[in-house]
Each structure stands twice: as C-alpha cells, then as structure tokens.
Amino acid sequence: MKQNIKKNQLFKEFPPTSTDVWETQLKKDIKGADYEKTLFTNTREGIQIKPFYRKEDLKNVLFPDMHFTSDLLGKKKNNDWLIRQDILVDTISKANKKAIELTSKGVTSIGFLFSDQFQLSVRDIELLMENINAEELEVNFMCGPASHKILAIYEELVFKYKRNPDKIKGSVDFDPFMAYTFRGKLCKTEEYAFTHSKQLVHAAKTLPNFRVLAVHGHNLRHAGATVVQELAFSLAQGVEYITRLTELGLSTDKIAKRIKFNFGVGTNYFMEIAKLRAARYLWVKALSAFGLENEDSSQMHIHSVSSGWNKSIYDAHVNILRTTTEGMSAVLGGTDSLSLTAFDMSYQLPSEFSERIARNQQLLLKEESFLDKVVDPAAGSYYIESLTNSLVQEAWNLFLHVDELGGYISALRNGLVQVEIEAEELKSREALATRREIMLGSNQYPNFKESIDDMLNPDVFEALDLTAATAEIKTLKQSRLSQKIEQIRQKTDQFAQKNQRPKVFMLPLGNKSMRQARAQFACNYFACAGFEVEDNVGFENVNEGIQAAIDSRADIIVICSSNQEYPAYAEAVFDKLQYNALLVIAGYPKAFIEEIEEAGINRFIHVKSNIVEDLKKFQFELGVE
C-alpha cells in the first residue's frame, strides 16, 4: 500500500521575492542616493560587484558549458590538500634534519630550495632524503637549471630503495618563462628551453605523478599583477608548453600531466576562491583545442602560495591574519597543496616560531575547521559562481590577446605583459598612497608604540631586480606594496636613535564632533611615519590650546576643527605659534582655503592626500635624515 507523503515546502509562509522588489527596497533604504554608485563596486580586475546575487545571474554566462564539478576539481572524495613548507638548503645534514622534524609536525609536502651554485651529487640527494619515506611525503626540488640532474638522481634513488613509483609525488621547478620575465634572458636559447622541457618529460616517464614543468603565476602577483592577469598569463604559459612540445613530438596528455601551476593568494577572499575555480575551467577550455586521449589529463594541478605583495614589515603579526584568510581562500578554491609564508619573512629568514605559526594555520584549517571534508564548498553560491564566470571571461579575453601575439614569450618581447602589469602596479601604489587601498599597520591604523630600532637591510624596501646584464627585453621587478611608506617609518626610527623623535601635537578646537574625528585622522596619519603623536580631548578656548601646544614642545601642531571655524582659528594660532612648530590643518576646507593661507598656514592633510609624498615632505622640513 502506497503511503501518501505530504511534501511541505520549507518556509512556505514567505512568498517568493523578485529581483525588482529587492532593488526597490534597496533604493528606498539609501534614500535617493544613486543606486549603482552607492551599492556597486568595481574591482582592480574591472569586475563590477553587485550588492546581491540571485540564480538568474548565472543564466547569461559567456561559456554555456561552464560547470564546476568534483571531476573538474580533480577531487572526487574530499577537499584534502598537502601542507607544504619549504627549506632553504644551507647544508645537506641540516636540511635533512629539518625535513624529518617537519614531517613529524603535520607537514605533508616539502620544498627544498637550492642556490644556483649548489653542485649536487647522488650521495647528496641520498643523504638529503635519509630516513624520509618518499612514498608518504611529496618532495619538491627548487633548483632551476639543475632540474634535469636532480630528477635523474631522484629517479635512480626511487628504484635503488625499491619505492613504488606510482606513490612518488613531487616536482622540479624548471620554468623558462619566469627566467625570461624577470631576468630578461633565457638560460640559453628559446629552442634549448623547450628541447630541455621535452627531455624532462621523457626523464620522468617512470614517475607518473612527478611534475617537471612549472608555471609560476605567483611571481607575477609579486610584481603587481591582478588576479585576471595572473590567470591569463599563467594560462598562456601552460598553453605555450603544450604548443611547443607537441611540435617536438609529445602528446598533449603527456605534457599536461607534467605541469604544475603555482598561484599566489592575496587577501581578496572571495576573488581568490573564484580564481582557482576559474583557473581549472580555463585550463580544460584551453586543452580542448588540442585534443586529449584521457579526460583526467585536463585536471590542473595547483600549488598555492600566500602572496608576498601585501605583507608588511611594521605590525608584522597582522600578516598572520592575512595568511589565514589567504589559506582559507586557497583551500575553498580547491588547491592541491599550499604554502603559507611566515609572518616575518618580509624582512628576515623565518624564525622557528613564525614557521610553526604558518604550519599550524593550515593544521587548524584542516583538523579544527574541517575544510578538507567537502568537495568544492563554494559550489552553488550565486556570488562566487558569478565571480568565477566574470574571471573566466576577463582572463580568457586577455589570454586570447596574448595568443594573437604568438604566445607568452612573444607577448614579453612585444612588451604587452610588462605594460599591463606595470600599469596595475602603479595603480595599486597610488591607491595605497591615497589610502583608497588600506594596509593595516602601514598606511592606516599603525601601532603607535612600535619602532624597529635595528637597521634593516635596505633591500627590503626596494624592488627585487633580477635583470641580467645581457637582458634582451624589459623585465618585471618583484616587490611589496607597502615598501615606500615603511621606508619612511624606518627612516624616522633610525633618526630617533640619536635624536628626539619628531612629535605631533593635536590642537582640537570648536565643533566637538568634527575636532575629534579630525584629530583621530591626523594621529593615524602622522603615526604612519613613526612620529610621536599627542592627542587631546579638545580645548574650550584658543589661548588654552595654544599654551598647551607651547608646553608640548612639539615639532608639528595640527589644528583640528570644522571647515567654517578654520579661518579664525588659523589666524589666532599662526600669530602665536608660527615660530614654534610646523602648523597643519586637518582637512581641506575648499571654500576657506584662501582665507587660511592668507592667515599664514598652507599645509593641509586630508583623505585625498598622498600620504607617502606628504610624510616625506614633513621629514625633510624637520631634518629627518
């Protein structure tokens, strides 16, 4: 007997609400303000972000066949990833000891970083891997030109110690594209680079899960590239491997299975999730033009690295918060392995403590947050699916432009890659300097009490220039976004070692709400330069405030008030304090600028000021050298 099962609709008492109804309510809530200007935002990538998303936003996609399934992600059972930490190989014995220690602390992937001068023998690699089970640990060798030699040695040791080749996972990082991008010169010739790539693929034939060709998109992020640029240029490099090596007789399947994509992860949380999802689709889309014998060959292998572009030297512990969100983005986006950089890596070799924190961040995401349990957790989110689609469209269009020029190497010679990335890098620096882009502890909300007394290596404030003396093209440089403003603060800290630290006195007068807001703004502003700031709740009359300012013996006095009150206060303060300190107005009262300047004050700080340029000028006027 069949039972009648009554299907109750969840929340049936709530009637369906159309997009028009939502938009009507939003427009009502913003009380006549422009709907798009108020609630829509545009990203650096040129993507417009709406205030809300619905299922209908997924109807008009560029590629109707776009879908994000567990098959596409290459993870059919779970969302597990490898926890990776890299080791700088100073001596073989020390590196081996550290690798063993890390594996006992939850690390499942090791990267050994060698200098170009390191001459490695079979015995060296044997000692490096002593007491390490290669079947249980992914081992990555970052050795550049020595990739072929190390691959041969590692393969020899696999069979010597009777390891199962099918269980051996790892990589070497041979990458002619990054050498050309940052050095301006290939290791030998273009023909040699791809002939050598073919040789590496052949050399790894007995190790089916070993990657020998690298795409380092994260290095482009360190040069200021946007997410779209990183995607498009990385895709172009991957396709150029396929194009050039199929011309040399290899099949698309053999090549694709040997490529590892290395992506940077920044703090734009949802964008980074969408990026990795978009990358996998783009790779499948690109490979479909070459033809594959095995569909599994189209699965992109991704290693993610927290970006150095947005890391700070001052208030460095904030980097821990940044790398935590970056790690979450990479994991939710479906990365295969992940490296979170130590919070102090921007200015020194990581300490044991900072490496432990970086390692435990990943362990926490896995063991306590269970982010490894669900395949593609972002699937079904209208916002992330729409964002993924937008990234696919934008990156595909840029990729096609590169392809029209003949591929990534041709685009470098043409100057397209450099022009595109340098333009975005400049926009980011201008946004930081004008505080349209915020970096906590650097250009906003600095730690007022922090100072770095030790003289830091000047290189940490400059872009990394790897350009070869015989460079054939203009190169890109890797850097950090906050370098220039941190350089200002370091200059103040060093000056204060032998001199009185510059002091800034807040002189709040008049309108209580305006004076308080502007005093807080000015305190943050000058503290970004490492100046000592003295805030005040306010003064009820000018003379009281002037006397307090004189008593403070400050180098800079900032008048904080309302626009209408500034002319009168400026005249009174200038008459009494013009010889005591530099006088500054907090704000830019456009209608009263002429009156204020006639009163004798011509220095203004405001929300549209270029903080880098302004603070350099104040340092110069105060003799901070």
Q: Which portions of the chain are predicted below pLDDT 70?
A: 1-10, 60-76
pLDDT at 375: 87
Q: Give whole-number Cα distances, 186 to 145, 181, 183, 247, 469, in Å.
A: 11, 9, 8, 20, 12
Whether residue 126 is found in the same domain as residue 92: yes
Which phi and psi (to 5°) does residue 335 adopt? -65, 150
Domain boundary among 142, 172, 202: 172
> Which of 139, 74, 140 is CA-nearest to residue 300?
74
Whether residue 392 is found in the same domain as residue 529: no
Six token digits for residue 460: 């940490």
Provide the Cα torsion 47, 48, 52, 54; round to 10°.
Answer: -60
CA 404 to CA 361: how far, in whole Å?
42
Whether residue 216 is found in the same domain as residue 249: yes
Domain that holds residue 95: 84-172
pLDDT at 28: 92
pLDDT at 57: 87
pLDDT at 32: 87
Q: Give whole-number Cα distances, 67 to 61, 289, 404, in Å.
A: 11, 18, 27
DSSP state of 440: B
> Which of 298, 206, 225 is CA-nearest to residue 259?
298
Question: What counts of helices (H) and strands (E) characterise the chain?
Answer: 23, 15
What are the contacts of 411-420 at 24+ separation with CB within 8 A?
Answer: 411/233, 411/236, 412/180, 412/181, 412/473, 413/472, 413/473, 415/473, 415/474, 417/181, 417/233, 417/476, 418/473, 418/474, 418/475, 418/476, 420/225, 420/229
Which phi and psi (to 5°) does residue 412 adopt? -65, -45
Q: Is residue 25 part of a domain?
A: no
Whether residue 303 is found in the same domain as residue 388: yes
Whether residue 325 is found in the same domain as residue 469: yes
pLDDT per residue as tens digits for the range 544-587: 999 999 999 999 999 999 999 999 999 999 999 998 899 999 99
Whether residue 519 is found in the same domain as residue 490: no
CB 478 within 8 A of CB 182: yes
Q: Is residue 223 part of a domain?
A: yes
Whether residue 124 is found in the same domain as residue 244: no
Dihedral sign for Cα atoms in the order 464, 466, 467, 473: negative
Q: Is residue 160 part of a domain?
A: yes
CB 198: neighbour CB atoms within 10 A? 19
Q: Is residue 42 part of a domain?
A: no
Domain boundary among 148, 172, 196: 172
Whether residue 589 is found in the same domain as residue 551: yes
Q: Residue 108, Cα to own-chain centre: how many angstroms?
A: 24
CB 148 within 8 A of CB 213: no
Six token digits for residue 331: 């994991």
CB 178 within 8 A of CB 409: no
586: domain CATH number? Answer: 3.40.50.280
pLDDT per residue as tens digits for the range 442-492: 999 999 999 999 899 999 999 999 999 999 999 999 999 999 999 999 999
Three-state secondary structure call for residue 412: helix
H or E segment to which residue 394 belongs: helix 382-404
Domain boundary among 129, 156, 172: 172
Counting beta carbons within 10 angstroms of the beta carbon of residue 354, is it exposed (0 to 12), middle (13 to 18) or buried (19 or more)?
buried
Three-state secondary structure call for residue 251: coil
In 223-377, which ranges are continuous DSSP H helix?
A: 227-247, 252-256, 269-287, 318-332, 352-363
Whether residue 364 is found in the same domain as residue 277: yes
Q: Is residue 603 part of a domain?
A: yes
pLDDT at 58: 83
Whether residue 394 is found in the same domain as residue 540: no
DSSP of 348-390:
SSPPHHHHHHHHHHHHIIIIIT-TTSSSSTTTT-HHHHHHHHH
Q: Is residue 232 part of a domain?
A: yes
Whether residue 182 is found in the same domain as residue 153: no
pLDDT at 14: 79
> Which of 504, 489, 505 is CA-nearest to residue 615?
489
Q: Is residue 383 part of a domain?
A: yes
pLDDT at 226: 97
pLDDT at 68: 46
CA 414 to CA 391: how far, in whole Å?
24
Q: Is residue 37 part of a domain?
A: no
Q: What is the largest CA-CA distance in the chain?
A: 100
pLDDT at 16: 83
> Which of 102, 211, 198 is CA-nearest to residue 154?
211
Whether residue 250 is found in the same domain as residue 291: yes
